[in-house]
Structure 1
Amino acid sequence: MSKEPSDFHTFTGYRLTSSQELTPAMEDYLEMIYRLYHQQVKIRIGDLSRHLNVQPSSTTKIVQRLKQFGYVDFEKYGEITLTDKGMSEGKYLLYRHEILHHFLCVLNHSNDELEQVEKIEHFMDRKTILQIEKLTLFLENHHDYDQ
């Protein structure tokens, strides 16, 4: 089925028509908070900044936005904690990351595709991630698949 010219948008246009409240940057921060939470690490702005290789001022701004949307609880100079909403979304973001990483490693016969995953993970919906997971399992189990 062909799309009409008026159905197409620029990347920014698609982003603006999306109902998604998290930006790609916010997703990265939330995913890392979720990772650190599962390592049972007390999460503070400085620690999060170091793990993401960003400035503490940038981290503070994003964490404040995450708090505004109900994903984390945070007080200045305090610990960052996940709300139930943040826990649920963080779990999905880590799952999405792991599925894409596994898929690209299988596809490219490699052990590390982190950079590619970081570049593309924000642009795939849940249905696509589920289908990629199924495809990855198929590729792994298909004995005729070669390089």
Structure 2
Amino acid sequence: MSETKHQRTRDDHATEVAEDYVEAIADLADARGACRATDLAQHFAVTQATVSNTVSRLKRDGLVMTEPYQPIFLTPAGQRLATKSRRRHQIVEQFLRKLGVSEKSAAVDSEGIEHHVGKETLAAMKAVLESGWPKEQ
């Protein structure tokens, strides 16, 4: 039992960076019309080398398309992952706000929690948000 519980956490950690990057690429492209490596370096406060290595892995995994010194585009698979990640993030952040967590804390905490929420838990969070529970007074 313990092995299975910890294995999921390790698996979640392995996908965190890819999810964060495709979500950021989608957001930056939406806001600026295109996403460049310099935009990602600034967004994540990391070096160009870190971005280059990560983008290379995303390209290898079929999530992005890019050429040196050119914008970074999401593939259809990258777009699906970005949409899924963005939606999961929104549900977690809204759920925390529903619990009474401050906007600032919910924004920060949802960045980590979103990667570790299983399908069952996410569905329960979504159900609570849709049900209006707890009843507004």
Q: Is the shorter-chain TM-score for this pair beyond 0.5, marking a shared fold?
A: yes
Shifted more, 129-138 versus 7-16: the winner is 7-16
Paired residues in the alignment total 136
Contact 2:41 2:51 in 1 (8 A): yes
Contact 1:35 1:94 in 2 (8 A): no
Hey, what's the Cα distance between the residues in 1 that align with 2:58 and 2:119?
A: 21
TM-score by length of 2: 0.85
Q: Which runs of 5+ in 2 are unaligned?
A: none
Percent identity over the alignment is: 27
Deviation track 1:23-65 (CA, whole Å, cap 9, x = no partner) reads 2112111111111222243111011111122211111111111
Task: Tell me which residue corresponds to 2:109.
Answer: 116
Of structures 1 and 2, the larger Rg is shown by: 1
Pick the aligned partner of 2:127 from 124, 127, 134: 134
- Displacement after TM superposition at 1:76 (Å): 1.4
Hey, what's the Cα distance between the residues in 1 that align with 2:33 and 2:48?
A: 18
Report which of the two has the higher share of helix. 2
Contact 2:92 2:114 in 1 (8 A): yes
Matches within 5 A, 1:96-115: 96-112=88-104, 113-115=106-108
Task: Tell me which residue corresponds to 2:48.
Answer: 56
Residues 56 and 11 (structure 1 numbering): CA distance in 2 closer, same or farther, change over 3 Å?
Answer: farther
Q: Larger relative CO (CA 8 A, sep 6+): 1 or 2? A: 2
